[in-house]
Structure 1
């Protein structure tokens, strides 16, 4: 008698893409339901299996475009605001640009769908091989070879589960890989007709092992080497378009507002400040680097504000500015007390269509569509920044500007090049005008802190201003968004020499393993024509 699967058959599996997209959104902030992420992956596995059975390239393409569009509409709908603000276009043009973006933005799912259909067209692959070896590997490789404007990894669906996310010590790609394997184990278990713990034990044991590893990481005791007292300023400066730069009244009011909240921060500090921090775009368009270039952003008022903060607090000031140094640069600047020497690090990972226009040299008309896009040029890999605390200790920090927190490998390169004791991320999310975007952007810091083995402090111009420890736990709560706020943080430091598996080995071993598993299954599995030939020989 034929045994039936406990997973019901659905006549039109593509209809599941809508609930899958909703579950995807529920897994990310502001909901943060890792159970939704798990169910999302489970249904993606089911849909992929059905696509391999249908074996139609048209259906596979349709599924890829639908998934990308629905995920964008449910999880990343806030991108519409960014497109509208950066393009300066009306609702119709902005909506058309958003539609094109939605169709293509999450194209990485196509790699999984098309890869699975192609492999199963060529070979007869057992379900156990497909779900436990091929599909997790395709998920991992898609994270690797499919760059996105706003990078999202499969492991991000599980970053809000404190125990499970500890696997990110091996990298977010491994967190995604392990999560897909776990969902696949349940999928294979549900395919079985038989019941009983002994039958299910082989499927549950690997998941228990993953939990045990994470529990060990979570229980680990990490030595501290000191504490620094940070004063974090959230001035709530609104995003500003280029015409505002010539509006003297607006610029003067903004500078005065930042100066006032800075004075308040210093005056009411509960203890001596070791580092005063202003976020990205507190005072837009301006800088403190003097230059004779006609494009110089130098502002004497900006210089006066920053130097006043340093004098009054007798502490270094970390802030963001726009400077002209061989071109427009988005800079993370550390102004030292007494000497008033500025140490600058230029942003390396620039936001496409926000800070530069990809392909503008070949398609100049793009500038007409995105007139608010800046002309920034990227910086190079440099040393960590250093400052002295009130106790006389030298402290090092790795500077990240806004968008850079989304790139695990950038953080790994920076710390590998110049080790630090914590990571400081200055950011500006005001262009998106969305609480959801702000929370999703901040959520990436949880995984960076685990991957890189260092606390991450995030200071945002309109929020969220927060901090995460080495396990991705919040250390100070979140300051209210879209309002002026001040945060004081006693930040525990870790040794500069601290390392993690991700820092030691990076993503390369896992990527090699994923490619090997795909090829292993491909060459080990028989061809369909060989199976048909064997059947014909038996009949004869």
Structure 2
């Protein structure tokens, strides 16, 4: 087969992981080259095939650790800033912790590498089965069973191509699965370079079908609900360490700054405001829930400015606060006009090492290493929040706080439990001090909008404040990061009954399909006869 292949053989395949990692980075924000994503997958397919030929467990382990390290260093280097800021440690300790994280953070690639080596060691699998059934299934399974601190799915590599990303209507895992199949078809087509062009149609036809499905999704007409006028505040509050909590001058200045930008948004609004939105950590550490508990975060000044903004705008206000209710909770609060009654939703998925310390009970010394980590406790699944527009219509939205936008399953459960007309995400990326991180984080919202068929509005304390329509297209100009800014958005909502294949069926059918394909190929393929066993049989 090699003599007919146009794919050259590489003497040291491990070196191939370096360009693969760079293509991975180029596929994500701030570059967003979907072509780089396909090249990344294509080279991974080639490398995995070489691993399955050598069938060397040590090389497979080395490849797993190296790929994880290279991807973290090229795509997620900004995590070092978070480690340094949260730990409060110097460069040496922060770099050591970052190195340990980098080695294991993208361990999901091991499912693909080890799975391929194991299967081909036991069975003699045809190339077509290996590339079209085994590898795409392993990619999907790795998305499914590998929890990560910062979840990244293979489909994320293709979220910046407006046509191709529409496959996320079936779920981000399916977007990754289909993308791997398409790269595999091209790989097989190149392997069969001795064939005429007519023979290539069987490889190109499925890719054409995928494009046709995406065109159908892109051309879909979505019934609209009420159009809202939103005022989005970006106060550019810096990340605050715990010593700032006792600094009354800093806290007073921050509260006044947030109030001033709120007044400016109300005065300069071109239309009556239906919803005024403040981001996560606009005013850190404080809350409006009165409590006699000594750990209470209650602030009278916080109460006064939020109520004042609601009265002046005669519009509901969404803001983030820390409240004490059976423990510290990160809350998204909707303050209604007239009644001034708050409606709170608590963050359900907490950021490890940022909002809680995994294993702290068994390893209390972790607290000394990460002193800035909070002690939050998670909330439970609740109903969507509801408010009334200036025209008297009732509108609902699904509330997400920061990190929660990275989890497709969570967003699906929320909408399935309580349908809404749009999704609102309050976030704070200031700890990372990186435009790359905030663009990657915002990019996740693009896929959530396609999966759910609902607009996603993202309001960030230092940026990136933006919004995506149900096709993942940006609906407003991006506000500059690390600057005070106000964004006005005319948001066309969708009907509550709006659904998508992902909302209706979830990821389970595709996961079942991936497992079935692995078993199908395994039992369909003949046993592999090992060389030493063949030698013994000949001698006998």
Question: 1:89 corresponds to which residue?
Answer: 89
* Cα deviation, residue 539, structure 1: 12
After superposition, the CA RMSD in angstroms is: 1.5
What is the CA distance between 1:531 and its match in structure 2?
9.7
Map of 1:163 onto structure 2: 163
**Structure 2: stretches of 5+ with no match in the other structure:** none
Corresponding position: 1:292 with 2:292: yes
Question: 1:386, 1:397 within 8 Å by CA — same for their partners in 2?
Answer: yes
Query: For 1:475-508, what per-residue CA distance to the aligned partner results, in whole angstroms no more than 9, with x for missing partners?
Result: 0020000000000001001110010000000000
Q: Is the 8 A contact 1:316 1:387 kept in 2?
A: yes
In the TM superposition, 1:208-357 aligns within 5 A as: 208-357=208-357
1:60-209 alignment runs, 5 A limit: 60-209=60-209
Q: What per-residue deviation string (whole Å, max 9, x for no partner) do you get for residues 309-332 of structure 1? A: 000000000000000000000000
CA contact (8 A) 2:287 2:323 kept: yes
Q: Report if aligned partners of 1:279, 1:427 keep a CA contact under 8 Å in 2.
A: yes
**Take 2:338 and 2:297, find their aligned partners in 1: how far apart are those partners?**
24
Shift, 1:529, TM fit: 2.4
**CA–CA distance in structure 2, aligned partners of residues 425 and 227 of structure 1:** 18
> Which aligned segments of 4 or more residues in structure 1 are displaced greater than 3 angstroms?
530-540
Q: CA deviation at 1:195?
A: 4.3
Contact 1:168-1:174 within 8 A present in 2 as well: yes
Query: Offset of 1:193 from its aligned partner?
Result: 2.7
Alpha-carbon distance in 2 for matches of 1:445, 1:509: 23
1:3 is displaced (CA, Å) by 3.8
Q: Deviations over 1:443-491 (max 9, x none)?
A: 0011000001100000000000000000000000200000000000010
Structure 1 residues not aligned, in runs of 5+: none
Report matched runs for 1:451-466 at 5 Å. Answer: 451-466=451-466
Work out the CA distance in 2 between the residues paired with 1:348 and 1:212. 38
The answer for the alignment partner of 1:482 in structure 2 is 482
- 1:510 and 2:516 correspond: no
1:376-420 C-alpha deviation (Å, 9 max, x unpaired): 000000000000000000000000000000000000000000000
| Offset of residue 366 of structure 1 | 0.6
* Corresponding residue of 1:29: 29
3-state SS of paired residue (1:99): helix
How many residues get paired? 540
Question: Deviations for 1:134-161, whole angstroms, at most 9, x for unmatched residues?
Answer: 0000000000000000000000000000
TM-score (normalizing by structure 1): 0.98
Indicate the SS of the match to 1:499.
coil
TM-score when scaled to structure 2?
A: 0.98
Q: Classify the secondary structure of the residue corresponding to 1:258.
A: helix
Distance 1:296 1:345 in 2: 18
CA distance in 1, matches of 2:380, 2:100: 32
2:381 & 2:397 partners in 1: Cα distance? 14
